[in-house]
Structure 1
Amino acid sequence: QISRTSAVILLIVSTSLVALCAEFLVSGIDHLVSNTPISEAFIGLIILPIVGNAAEHVTAVTVAARNKMDLAIGVAVGSSIQIALFITPIVVIIGWILDRPMSLYFNLFETVTLFASAFIVNFLVLDGRSNYLEGGLLCAGYVIIRFVLLY
């Protein structure tokens, strides 16, 4: 059992280390884009979400392996909703405060991809159950988006 003060200090230190790692990650992306054929869109829509949500992925797979599909779907969908409806607008507001150009403008491909992904996920989780075919459909959609962004 740790005290409240120790927990707050640990939270502040951990947040600072995560911010430092994020700064290194962002500076590394510029170098990666300039020296390889990988696009910023591919990094931003494929690589960063996988890395950034690794904890949620592990949690979802772990609870799904224990046959708690409601919790697994809740973790996966809840994380996506949190990022779309909370984190993205907060980042834009912080960007405005720091005088960094940020907006919620998405190009046509990103908008269509987001709409199609949300539609497919909504359709598949409507019954509250899942099977390997539905999971395969979601993975296939992800691979299609990946290849379109890569080329």
Structure 2
Amino acid sequence: MKSIKPGRGPSAMGALGSIICVVFGIFWTIMASSSGAPIFFPIFGIMFIVMGIVQTIYHFKNATSTNRFSEYDITDSSEESDPLQDMFGKKGNTEFTKFDDFNNSEKTNFCPYCGDKVNSDFEYCPKCGKKLP
């Protein structure tokens, strides 16, 4: 099964951006508390810090782990499994076999809808069933 996963670079950039948000939240909370602002301003800063820490952990884990959450990069299940598919999807879906054993002399394309390999003379994708352009 093809999965769309966030690249390690964007995840690392998200972690760095989240750390910057945590630093901003700390300054916000200190300034709001020391200037005598109403109580909801320091509470907002604390919430900002907590959300930034959670985002930092999430993005750092996505940037460094081998089994990432699916969102952007297309990977094959033989390269890296999809944790959401493992958790909520059907296990062992073998309705369609792998099409890796095409004759090498035939031109192989990819379905623009699901990313599966299709032969150049196919009219419909054997995995998703959509008409190929």
> What TM-score, normalized to structure 2?
0.31
* Bigger relative contact order (CA 8 A; separation at least 6): 2
Is the helix fraction higher in 1 or 2?
A: 1
> What TM-score, normalized to structure 1?
0.29
Is the strand fraction higher in 1 or 2?
A: 2
